[in-house]
Amino acid sequence: MAVLNPCGKLRVMTRFEWDPIKERENQRKHGVDFSLAQFAFADPQRVIAEDLSHGGSERHYFCFGQVGGGVLTVRFTYRQGALRLFGAGYWRKGKRIYEQENQVHG
């Protein structure tokens, strides 16, 4: 994983999209729907990191941001002018990365 920058500056994109079947699967597995996951990108302290373990032709990324009192990890890619979401959950590793990059101590 490569952190792109602590503030997670994104290209100017406001459109989100996702596969509704993938969203239902994510809700079942992780209890998070993608309409909620969008809010991680609104966190001014969000962290964006590239998923270097993904070997496909399309680059994949993580967004770590505060949503609903916790740090939400969102997996996404850039596709045809939109942020395409394909995974989201409240995972300890994401919280650790967020806190480390924002130097949060608690």
pLDDT 10s digits, 21-73: 999 999 999 999 999 999 999 999 999 999 888 777 889 999 999 999 999 99
Question: What is the tally of structural domains in the chain?
Answer: 1
Tell whether 6 is covered by a domain. Answer: no
| Domain coverage including residue 48 | 16-101
DSSP, residue by residue, the chain: -EEEETT-PPPS---EEE-HHHHHHHHHHHS--HHHHGGGGG-TT-EEEE-TT--SSS--EEEEEEETTEEEEEEEEEETTEEEEEEEE--HHHHHHHHHHTT---
Share of the chain above pLDDT 90, in %: 70
Tell whether 7 is covered by a domain. Answer: no
Q: Which CATH number is 36's domain given?
A: 3.10.450.530
12 has pLDDT over 80: no
